[in-house]
């Protein structure tokens, strides 16, 4: 992905963290890690505080027992946001991290669910993301539900998805209706193009049927770019050096 589009996605993910107190990022997640660190830098510049926990990092991870401590904090309500991706994501907010085909005879294997279902139930704002926006990744129904988007109303569930950021656009998630709402198109993208490459139906902001009212995703500000090239690139380099080199070049 080009550096400019990467910077746009990092900024868009960071925008979803405004006003929060603590965000956690799982392993093998360079894009959310950069977003969390950018959001923290923004908060500090505004005289606010945002704790950014990046698993796999020694500098930005207070835990000594990895995922177990993260799960404990989530159960205690101390994690405000978490990022989650998957091989497949469907229109009901379900995520597949297991594989394609009929389980257990999957034709292609993904990394595995680990704590995704647990965190999706407990973290108030689960921000979904997928750089590849295609009918292969955004499907009508996932082949395996690693983390459900919604639950029965009688189920205790303070957490769940709030947004989906892709390489083409940004969605909000309506938990009550179990549907995504297109909130912005990335520069150069069109509503028709997004519909063509999305395997599920979605709503538009305000219920409009036209594309003229769909906003454009904000570009990173000059301050954001300066932070990405400098502080954020330096901080994320400890865990993701190749990704750090990419955002340092924006």
Q: What is the CATH number of the domain that holds 178?
A: 3.40.1080.10
Q: Find the domain containing 99 and state its range.
A: 85-219
Report how many domains make up the chain. Answer: 2
φ, ψ at 165 (rounded to 5°): -110, 125
Q: Are residues 209 and 250 in the same domain?
A: no
Same domain for 227 and 215: no
Confidence (pLDDT) at 248: 95
Strand partners, 185: 169, 216
Round the average pLDDT of the chain to a whole number and report it: 95
Give 72-94 pLDDT, tens digit per residue: 999 999 999 999 999 999 999 99
pLDDT score for 141? 98
234, 191: one domain: no
One domain for residues 91 and 199: yes
pLDDT score, position 93 = 98
In this structure, the answer to whether residues 207 and 108 fall within a common structural domain is yes
Kindly state whether residues 76 and 100 are assigned to the same domain. Answer: no
pTM here is: 0.95
What does the CA dihedral 53, 47, 227, 172 come to, rounded to 10 degrees? 60
Residue 4 has pLDDT above 50, yes or no: yes
Q: Locate 84 and state its tokens.
A: 């989650």
Split at pLDDT 50, 70, 90, the class of 187 is very high
137 has a pLDDT exceeding 90: yes
> Residue 206: pLDDT band by 50, 70, 90 thresholds?
low
- At residue 147, does pLDDT exceed 90? yes
Q: Is the pLDDT of residue 193 over 50?
A: yes
Assess whether pLDDT exceeds 70 at residue 209. no
Q: What is the mean pLDDT of residues 159-179?
A: 97
Whether 91 and 209 map to the same domain: the answer is yes
Q: Which among 189, 120, 109, 201 has a CA at the least distance from the CA of 161? A: 120
User: Do 77 and 101 fall within a single domain?
Assistant: no
Establish how many alpha carbons lie within 13 A of residue 96's alpha carbon, considering only the half-sphere containing its beta carbon.
Answer: 25
**Do 102 and 74 share a structural domain?**
no
Closest CA to 19 of 206, 121, 162, 118: 162
- Residue 19, pLDDT above cutoff 90: yes
């Amino acid at each position: 992905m080009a550096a400019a589009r990467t910077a746009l996605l990092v900024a868009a993910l960071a925008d979803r963290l405004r006003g929060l107190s603590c965000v956690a990022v799982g392993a093998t997640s360079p894009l959310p890690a950069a977003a969390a660190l950018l959001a923290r830098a923004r908060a500090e510049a505004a005289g606010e505080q945002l704790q950014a926990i990046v698993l796999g990092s020694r500098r930005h991870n207070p835990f000594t027992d990895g995922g177990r401590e993260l799960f404990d904090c989530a159960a205690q309500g101390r994690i405000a946001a978490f990022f989650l991706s998957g091989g497949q994501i469907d229109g009901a907010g379900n995520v597949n991290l297991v594989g394609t085909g009929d389980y257990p005879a999957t034709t292609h294997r993904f990394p595995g669910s680990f704590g995704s279902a647990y965190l999706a139930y407990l973290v108030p704002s689960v921000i979904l993301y997928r750089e590849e926006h295609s009918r292969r990744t955004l499907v009508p129904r996932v082949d395996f539900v690693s983390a459900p988007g919604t639950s029965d109303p009688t189920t205790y569930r303070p957490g769940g998805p709030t947004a989906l950021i892709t390489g083409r656009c940004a969605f909000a998630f309506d938990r009550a209706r179990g549907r995504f709402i297109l909130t912005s198109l990335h520069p150069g993208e069109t509503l028709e193009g997004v519909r063509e490459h999305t395997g599920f139906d979605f709503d538009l902001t305000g219920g409009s049927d036209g594309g003229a009212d769909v906003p454009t995703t904000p570009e990173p500000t000059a301050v954001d770019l300066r932070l990405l090239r400098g502080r954020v690139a330096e901080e994320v380099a400890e865990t993701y050096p190749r990704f750090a080199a990419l955002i340092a070049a924006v």
